[in-house]
Amino acid sequence: MKTRERILEAFFDLVAEHGYDKTSISMICATLNINKPSIYYSFKSKEDLLITLFDEYATRYFNLDFETLKGHSYKDSLINFGHRIIEAYEAHPKLISVTMEYYIQARRIPELSQKVFDFQDEFNHLLKTILLEGVNKGEFDIDVDINAQILSALLMSAELSITYNLGLNNKKIWAISVERLFVEAK
């Protein structure tokens, strides 16, 4: 594994355990037994590390692509979409801690704020696309914008449920919510 990738993985683990503010470049160096110039060779700053981590891990864990959902009914596409996200969080508990740090740090790091906004916008766009395709094919008749927002909020709630280990059956809650959307739309 390249040094750059090792730095990102160590940073991910440290942020998940200690939070962004309490994670230092020195901690990364100690974890990897490297010196600071090794980090600054690949990254301008700790903020740059966080932004790079967001770019690479968002793509790795949340490859949001409508094409991968095609071939199913729109209801099944929506259920699969939510299940993929919930499963990513359940399989990688540290991911939620780091995701929460993205939200927190985005309030003070403009470049990260824009990236988080763009990712959320892409996420909402994909939900709207699935819903709109379903409306256009006559599978249901709903207000696409408000229902996309409802589903997005439901997935954010699942993030919190997993974060705080509330023991909710998030996949079932998601599936039932999508089923109700289709029932109520007919």
Under the banding of pLDDT at 50, 70 and 90, the label for residue 75 is confident
Q: Does 32 lie in the same domain as 68? A: no
What was the pLDDT predicted at 185? Answer: 59
What would the mean pLDDT of 101-126 be, rounded to a whole number? 93
Q: Does 89 lie in the same domain as 161? A: yes
Classify residue 117: in a domain, yes or no: yes
Classify residue 87: in a domain, yes or no: yes
What is the number of domains present in the chain? 2
Q: How far is CA 17 from CA 21, 47, 93, 181, in A?
A: 11, 17, 11, 38
Q: Does 78 lie in the same domain as 165? A: yes
**What b/e sequence results for 83-118 when a residue is b if at least 16 CB atoms lie within 10 Å of its CB, and e otherwise?**
bebbebbeebeebbbbbbbbeebbeebeebeebbee
Classify residue 56: in a domain, yes or no: no
Q: Does 150 lie in the same domain as 77? A: yes
Any idea what the CATH number is for the domain that residue 19 is in?
1.10.10.60
Type of residue at 142: I
Q: What is the pTM of this model?
A: 0.84
Under the banding of pLDDT at 50, 70 and 90, the label for residue 74 is confident
Structural domain range at position 21:
3-43
Task: Encode pLDDT of 131-178 as tens digits.
Answer: 888 888 888 788 999 999 999 999 999 999 998 899 999 999 999 999
Which phi-psi region, left, alpha or beta, contains residue 42 (left: φ > 0; alpha: ψ -120 to 50)?
alpha
Classify residue 55: in a domain, yes or no: no
Classify residue 79: in a domain, yes or no: yes
Question: How far, in Å, CA of 47 to CA of 115, rounded?
Answer: 13
Would you say how long the chain is, in residues? 186
pLDDT exceeding 90 applies to what percent of the chain? 61
Which DSSP helix (H) or strand (E) runs through 77? helix 74-91
Classify residue 112: in a domain, yes or no: yes
Task: Encode pLDDT of 32-68 as tens digits.
Answer: 999 999 999 999 999 999 999 999 887 777 766 656 5
